[in-house]
Every structure is written in structure tokens, then in C-alpha cells.
């Protein structure tokens, strides 16, 4: 990626003991923004590609808390794919990054922490509009 600050892998501390694991996420300490919204994607059918959009201002952290999925990231110049396969691995995605989530394993649960409430007007759902948006900036 050209701008490394736009996308970042995060490693969370596991509070593990003989009973199993626990991960706690706090805004600003573990997550680099104020957490305004949480949602999760589950029961994803075979060959489905989710996302396929960018955001004008929203920041998010994606965590595959169960199973595995892949995330394609595109800053308009370069594309890369990240695999999320551990509950202690987070993917920070800033605004103005096109993302597609795919290759979900059976039973995968993708947890998303977001910096703002849901706002459809923050979405850029057409790839050509995304390219125009980043060129204007």
C-alpha cells in the first residue's frame, strides 16, 4: 500500500489461562478510534463477496473472531489481500480504502468495530466513484 497509515494489522493481547482465552478491546488503547458501532457478519454463504465499497470518513477494525476470511484492500493505486484467521488479529482500515471480504470458512464470524454510527451517505459503492473521490483529495 502506498500510504501505510491507511491500513494496519493489529495484534491484541490474549488474557489466556487454563480456562481458555479472553481478549479485551478498549477504545484508543487497543482500537485507534472512539468505538461508536459494532456489527458482525456471520452465516456467510459460499462464494459470497461482501463489502465492495469504501467510506468517505469511517474508520473500522475487522476481526475474524471465529474461522477465517480474506480482505482485499485497494487504495486506488495498489491492491493487497490480508487473511484474518485469529481472534487476536485485527485489521485497521481507514477511510478511502476500497475493501472486499471473501473466502469465508463455514461458521466464520467477522466482527467489525466502527468509528461512527451507520450512515449510508458515507458509503462509496461504485468503484469509479471511489477513484474520483481519492483523486479529488
Residues 97, 7 contacting (CB under 8 angstroms): yes
Give Cβ neighbours of residue 119 (< 8 Å, ≥ 6 apart). Answer: 58
Cβ closest to ligand TYD, residue 51 vs residue 76 = 51
User: Cβ–Cβ contacts within 10 Å for residue 35, how many?
Assistant: 15
Cβ closest to ligand TYD, residue 37 vs residue 68 = 37
Give the contact letters, 105-124, x = binds to ligand TYD (CB under 6 A), - = no: -------------x------
Which residue in the block uniquely carries the three cell numbers 494489522? 9
37 binds ligand TYD (CB under 6 A): yes
Residues annotated as catalytic are: 53
Smallest distance from ligand TYD to CB 42, Å: 12
Q: Mark the segment that binds ligand TYD (CB under 6 A) among 17-25, 50-58, 69-77, 127-135.
A: 50-58
- Judged by DSSP in three states, 52 sits in strand
71 binds ligand TYD (CB under 6 A): no
CA distance 133 to 82: 24
Q: Virtual CA dihedral for 86, 92, 96, 100, nearest 10 degrees?
A: 0
Smallest distance from ligand TYD to CB 51, Å: 5
- Binding interface with ligand TYD (CB under 6 A): 37, 39, 50-51, 53, 118
Amino acid at each position: 500500500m502506498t500510504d501505510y497509515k491507511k491500513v494496519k494489522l493489529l495484534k491484541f493481547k490474549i488474557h489466556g489461562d487454563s480456562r481458555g482465552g479472553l481478549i479485551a478491546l478498549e477504545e484508543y488503547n487497543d482500537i485507534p478510534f472512539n468505538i461508536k458501532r459494532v456489527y458482525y457478519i456471520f452465516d456467510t454463504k459460499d462464494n459470497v463477496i461482501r463489502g465492495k465499497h469504501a467510506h468517505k470518513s469511517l474508520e473500522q477494525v475487522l476481526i475474524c473472531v471465529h474461522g477465517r476470511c480474506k480482505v482485499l484492500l485497494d487504495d486506488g493505486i495498489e491492491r493487497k489481500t490480508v487473511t484474518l484467521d485469529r481472534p487476536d488479529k485485527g485489521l485497521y482500515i481507514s477511510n478511502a480504502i476500497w475493501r472486499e471480504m471473501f473466502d469465508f470458512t463455514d461458521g466464520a464470524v467477522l466482527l467489525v468495530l466502527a468509528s461512527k454510527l451507520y450512515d449510508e451517505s458515507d458509503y462509496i459503492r461504485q468503484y469509479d466513484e471511489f477513484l474520483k473521490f481519492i483523486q479529488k483529495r
